Amino acid sequence: MLGGVEMLFGSEYDWLYLEQLVDTSDNEITIIISQMKKIALSVDTLANEKNEKVRELLSKSNQLASDGTQTYRIHFKSYIMYQVRNESYTYSNDSEIRRGKGLILFEKSKLFRLC
């Protein structure tokens, strides 16, 4: 739950995209995220790619797309800290207590000990 509201994301949406993060001088923060669907690349996209190595890479890839209906605005009137992590460079730490997938709320974190 965040501010008394449980955040549930539809199962067909596996990816979250950070559309906008606005941090004001008044110590407020607004986060706008969209849920993305994974869709296959079109045959035309692959056929039109001239570079063979890029075409091979694209053939193993998926496109992420938003239908515009699953966009959320989260606004905090005050905050102490926020962190945006590149999930490619993170690892799970068993001592941390967290809830969520994609958008994670930490109840216990090593980062909190540094503050």
- Condensed to tens digits (0 to 9), the pLDDT of residues 65-92 reads 877 778 889 898 988 777 777 766 666 6
What pLDDT does 1 receive?
46
Residues of the chain predicted below pLDDT 50: 1, 5, 10-11
Could you give the CA distance from residue 72 to residue 2 in angstroms, rounded to a whole number? 13
3-class state of residue 63 by DSSP: strand
Residue among 75, 83, 81 at smallest CA distance from 30: 75
What pLDDT does 40 receive?
79
3-class state of residue 45 by DSSP: helix
What pLDDT does 114 receive?
61
Residue among 71, 72, 77 at smallest CA distance from 24: 77
What pLDDT does 115 receive?
53
Query: Radius of gyration (Cα) for the chain, nearest Å?
Result: 18
